[in-house]
Amino acid sequence: MNTNNLKEYLALLTPYTELRVQSNNIMSMAFLNGNMISNSQNRIHGVSARVYKNGSWGFASNSVVNDAGIQAVLSEAENNASFLDSRLDLRKALFNPTVGKMKKDFRSTKHPLSQGEIKEFIKLLDNYIATKYPDVMQRYVGIQFLSMEKNLVTSDGVEFYSFIPRTAIPVQLTVVKDGVPVNLYEAFGGLGEAQDFLDNPENFFPKIDTLYQELIKKSEGVMPKAGLCEVILASDIAGILAHEAIGHTTEADLVLGGSIAAEYMNKEVASPLVTLVDFANTYNGKTLTMPIYMDDEGVVAEDVVIIENGILRNYMHNKETARLFGTEPKGNARAWQFNDEPLIRMRNTAILPGKDKLEDMIASIEDGYFLTKTGNGQADTTSEFTFSVNMGYEIKNGKLGRAIKDTTISGIAFEVLKSVTMVSDEMTWAGTGGMCGKKQPIPVGMGGPSIKCKVNIGGE
Amino acid sequence: MANKEILKHTLARLEKVVDKCQCSTSINRKYELNLENGRISLLRTTIDHNYSVTVIKDQKQGSISINKTDEQSINEAIDNVVEICANSEVDEAYDIAPYQEPKTFVSGDLEPDLNKMFDLLQDYVDNIKTNYPTIKLMDTAISFTVSTKHLMNSNGVDFTETEGYYDFTSLFAAKEGDKSSSFNYSSYYVRKLEKDLLSYGSLKQVLDETTNQIYTQGVADKFKGDIIITPDCMSMLVYFVVNVYLSNMPLISKTSPLYNKLGEQVASPLFTLHAAPRDERIAKGYHVTGDGFEAKNMTIFDKGVLTSYVLNQYGAKKTGLPRSNNTGGCYIVENGDTPLEDMIKNCKRGVLVHRISGGNPNNNGDLSVVLKNSFYIEDGEIKYPLNETMITLNLKDALANIVEVSKEQVNFGHEIYPYVKVKDVLISGK
């Protein structure tokens, strides 16, 4: 049988079965101070089957993808479901069937670049930094490419093919100020293959210039004054707040596991200015960084409005939790590799833009901060969060002031969203999105407007 | 082809094409029982193959890794890695391990006991329901993994390593009405399943603590006090110390404040840290490093004196510093002679730090993080669980300011840590 044409196996699938062949291709190259420190490729390809039997799930996978390998995983998944069914005896019914046939291919239409061409391009960027900014004592420039290619069929009759590529060009610069190293990082890129971004190095030069100028300001920056303060969170940070601190608390598996959001359905959890959505694939007619059209349970993906005008309206589900909550799944069940089972995951999460102008928001703050870049963030099922802030500025008497040094912000996200008094009218999506961790990693998109709110900031 | 035949085929094909070559194959079989919504829900079995090859020619290097071991895929990978190598950059530090005596290492069980795994997991679920009624289980899984890896290189290195281990991890929160604790977790590795799941690692202690973390308070002010770091939290801090100060990147770029400090007293005399992948107490260790050396145990800090960095062969050649005996992980901090109870009694004002959340330290080791699942201590007593409380410290200063190390140690199967008390840390509330 043709292992690229899984519908030939439909007759072998017992209700309910998912059969998925998936390939993740990863390419990584990096230069540290002009020295190539990584240059590798990794292809993870294989087949998995997941079988549902009376309330028990059996899953099996193998990296051997041929007719025998596919039949073997189908058989082993069935055996695993039977083993659990024999021990648990849950006698649960099948799910309502979901159907659909779809193909979504974001493969580049441009000619692929060779390894050598990619290397020369990255070296050009590195040389640009080395030549123009000799005071940069550490330069890190690289490229990271990930593509996820999936072929899914289910016993309900779903047939889905997708190819989603993502490219990041990370740049980190370090200068030394008063004996202490200070660095700043930015990743350029987004949905697409290397050739979609590496066409003209001069497109990157102004971005690198901006990064360097911000780094110099940061190296001369001051520590913020610690405590609760008024801030404007730019889209980079508003996006991670939406994803990390709110989004996770509204994933139904975490709701069942004790998340604070279990108590908040249809209650006011944020300022009426806040509407927060997990977009499936498209915003304002534009394809997002991580476009999901159908998930790995064969559910056609739809947007999930999590908070509507300050009221918590929806959780995110897989088939099982949707049935438990008496609702319909909307395509949030996603698996990272072929050998992973689908978990409830976000797609492209953002607060919707409001009506305020950013300059008016800055002008409205007497003593606070404009926080623009974050490195990472963590949050809790209580919605308590901590994010690093890698770039930001003081706001004094309605005007931007000195840059600030690396710091951390923290708070209870639902309280922070209640403190929102202004939301900017522009919308920015983080170009390269991010990787979310929850048993498995998964690429996600994030974005948002700038929001004015109150958070705790670390500092002196 | 059998796995060793693949490696011989690789070396033979590349012998006249490149100067040096290292290649490896592995096969992993994993059996995993998972919970969803607080009950056993999924049995997952996976078979994963890996083939990796690194070549060096004219001091250029290329690497490729695929999860196939069929002849066509292997031959394509060999062709690709030669191309990657040709498009690499010259670096005199690229090398492979020298000849060592061929060895085979075997540890742990080679087959799982699925029924026992199911019974122990079901007992755990029942135990939680009965004895921890406020606890809500989230991601929780028990798995058994058996893996066999072959590694060979063109200098005659020939190692085979087979290991089997059980892995248990449980994520949970405590909830009463509309109040809930922060999520908390515990995980560990064991070679054999001999006791109930609550008996290993820190699991029981962490569950007990979490049930007391629903009604939290903040600290009202900012003060310098003691932090008592739990064994669970030590893991993250030790990894920070190694990554920021002792590993390839900060030493190659000379940004590490501990550069050129080998042999110097840089930490408290109470602090001794080993990286010991071959220690008998470590269930998930390793015998062979990724760069083809037989791993040996090593001491990184000996009574506060820096005795080794964590450098692989590339890092060593790049910096001119000695290659370390292993490539890190499997950390063991030696225990002290103070019972935990006394460490708390001796604390005038401070916090018991179980988990930290926030950014990574900067290149200088400065760290500002929010405390999770942690308690406030005053006048020698644990007073209440904390919320929205931060600590700010510098990792190097913290190593020097260790004042007590507990008698008790927790063995997580891949690491072993005691409780460690550090003085003069900035603790701040909202």
d(CA A335, CA A333): 7
Nearest to B42 among A59, A258, A456 (CB): A59
Dihedral sign from CA coordinates of A423, A427, A431, A437: positive
Find the mean pLDDT for residues A352-381: 94
Mean pLDDT, each 10-residue run in order, chain B (430 residues): 88 96 97 93 96 96 92 94 90 96 95 95 97 95 97 98 97 90 95 94 96 92 95 97 95 91 98 98 97 98 98 96 97 98 97 88 86 96 92 96 98 98 91
Please check whether residues A143 and A12 belong to one and the same domain.
yes
Residue in B63, B92, B183, B391 to test binding to A, most A beta-carbons within 10 Å: B183
Please check whether residues A273 and A352 belong to one and the same domain.
yes
Please check whether residues A274 and A199 belong to one and the same domain.
no
Q: To which residue do tokens 């159907």 refer?
A: A99
Number of C-beta neighbours around residue A373 at 10 A? 18
User: What pLDDT, on the 0 to 100 scale, is given for residue B357?
Assistant: 85
Q: To which residue do tokens 């703050």 refer?
A: A365
User: What pLDDT, on the 0 to 100 scale, is given for residue A4?
Assistant: 62
Q: Which residue of A has its CA nearest to B47?
A: A62
- Is the CB of B67 less than 8 angstroms away from the CB of A32? no
Instruction: Give the 3-state secondary structure of residue B403.
Output: strand
Contacts of B112 in chain A (CB under 8 A): none
- Is the CB of B362 less than 8 angstroms away from the CB of A406? yes
Please check whether residues A302 and A380 belong to one and the same domain.
yes
Residues of the domain holding A172:
6-219
Contacts of A438 in chain B (CB under 8 A): 139
At A235, give phi and psi (nearest 5°).
Answer: -60, -35
Please check whether residues A239 and A210 belong to one and the same domain.
no
Dihedral sign from CA coordinates of A193, A199, A203, A209: positive
User: What pLDDT, on the 0 to 100 scale, is given for residue B1?
Assistant: 65
At A317, give phi and psi (nearest 5°).
Answer: -135, 160
Find the mean pLDDT for residues A243-250: 93
Q: How far is CA B192 from CA B113, B185, B186, in A?
A: 10, 21, 18
Query: Residue A349's Cα: distance from chain center in Å?
Result: 8
User: What pLDDT, on the 0 to 100 scale, is given for residue A251?
Assistant: 96
Please check whether residues A133 and A204 belong to one and the same domain.
yes
d(CA A432, CA A186): 10
In-domain check, residue A68: yes
- CA-based nearest residue to A380, from A411, A404, A349: A411
Percent of chain A exceeding pLDDT 70 equals 99
Task: Show Cβ contacts of residue B343 under 8 Å, excluding neighbours closer than 6 positions.
Answer: B228, B404, B406, B419, B421
Q: Which amino acid is at A74?
A: L
d(CA B208, CA A101): 50
For chain A, helix, strand, coil in percent to 5 are 25, 40, 35
Q: How far is B250 from chain A, CA to nearest CA, in Å?
A: 10
d(CA B130, CA B75): 57
Q: To which residue do tokens 């920015």 refer?
A: A428
Phi/psi zone of residue A193: left (φ > 0), alpha (ψ -120 to 50 degrees), beta? beta
Contacts of A115 in chain B (CB under 8 A): 83-84, 87
- CA-based nearest residue to B367, from A375, A179, A246: A375
User: What pLDDT, on the 0 to 100 scale, is given for residue A437?
Assistant: 87
d(CA A361, CA A423): 8
Within an 8 Å CB–CB cutoff, is residue B40 touching chain A? yes
Of A197, A219, A241, the position where a domain reaches its end is A219
Contact B412, B339 (CB under 8 A): no
In-domain check, residue A22: yes
| CB interface of B with A, residues 95-114, below 8 Å | 114
d(CA A316, CA A331): 9
- Is the CB of A80 less than 8 angstroms away from the CB of B45? yes
Please check whether residues A248 and A194 belong to one and the same domain.
no
Within an 8 Å CB–CB cutoff, is residue B366 touching chain A? yes
Residue in A20, A80, A323 to test binding to B, most B beta-carbons within 10 Å: A80
In-domain check, residue A399: yes
User: What pLDDT, on the 0 to 100 scale, is given for residue A180?
Assistant: 83
Please check whether residues A296 and A407 belong to one and the same domain.
yes
Nearest to B253 among A36, A64, A138 (CB): A138
Task: Show Cβ contacts of residue B91 under 8 Å, excluding neighbours closer than 6 positions.
Answer: A35, A36, B59, B60, B61, B318
pTM for the complete prediction?
Answer: 0.91
Please check whether residues A276 and A188 belong to one and the same domain.
no
Q: Which residue of A has its CA nearest to B141?
A: A439
- Is the CB of B362 less than 8 angstroms away from the CB of A80? no
d(CA A185, CA B359): 14
In-domain check, residue A209: yes
In-domain check, residue A421: yes
d(CA A32, CA A170): 12
Q: Which residue of B has its CA nearest to A63?
A: B48
d(CA B51, CA B64): 8
- Is the CB of B370 less than 8 angstroms away from the CB of A410? yes
| CB interface of B with A, residues 341-360, below 8 Å | 357-360
Of A219, A251, A282, the position where a domain reaches its end is A219
In-domain check, residue A423: yes
In-domain check, residue A1: no
Counting one residue from A and one from B, how many pairs have CB atoms under 8 Å apart? Answer: 217
- Report residue B184 as tokens: 């908390």
- Is the CB of A60 less than 8 angstroms away from the CB of B46? yes
Nearest to B388 among A116, A183, A456 (CB): A456
Contacts of A407 in chain B (CB under 8 A): 368
A243, pLDDT greater than 90: yes
| CB interface of B with A, residues 409-428, below 8 Å | 428
Contacts of B222 in chain A (CB under 8 A): 226
Number of domains in chain A: 2
DSSP state of B50: E
Residue in A338, A410, A415 to test binding to B, most B beta-carbons within 10 Å: A410
Q: Which amino acid is at A329?
A: P
Please check whether residues A39 and A184 belong to one and the same domain.
yes
DSSP state of B335: P
A1, pLDDT greater than 60: no
d(CA A83, CA B27): 24
User: What pLDDT, on the 0 to 100 scale, is given for residue A2?
Assistant: 47
Strands A159-177, A101-105: pairing kind: parallel
Q: How far is B337 from chain A, CA to nearest CA, in Å?
A: 35
Of A186, A219, A252, the position where a domain reaches its end is A219
In-domain check, residue A267: yes
Find the mean pLDDT for residues A191-210: 96
At B159, give phi and psi (nearest 5°).
Answer: -120, 145
Please check whether residues A303 and A207 belong to one and the same domain.
no
Longest CA–CA span in chain A (Å) reads 71
User: What pLDDT, on the 0 to 100 scale, is given for residue B45?
Assistant: 97
Contacts of A137 in chain B (CB under 8 A): 253
Please check whether residues A247 and A206 belong to one and the same domain.
no
- Report residue A421 as tokens: 């008094």
| CB interface of B with A, residues 221-240, below 8 Å | 222
Q: What burial letters (b/e) apply to B280-289, b meaning 16+ CB within 10 Å?
A: eebbbbbbbb
User: What CATH number has the domain bearing residue A126?
Assistant: 3.30.2290.10
- Is the CB of B180 less than 8 angstroms away from the CB of A180? no
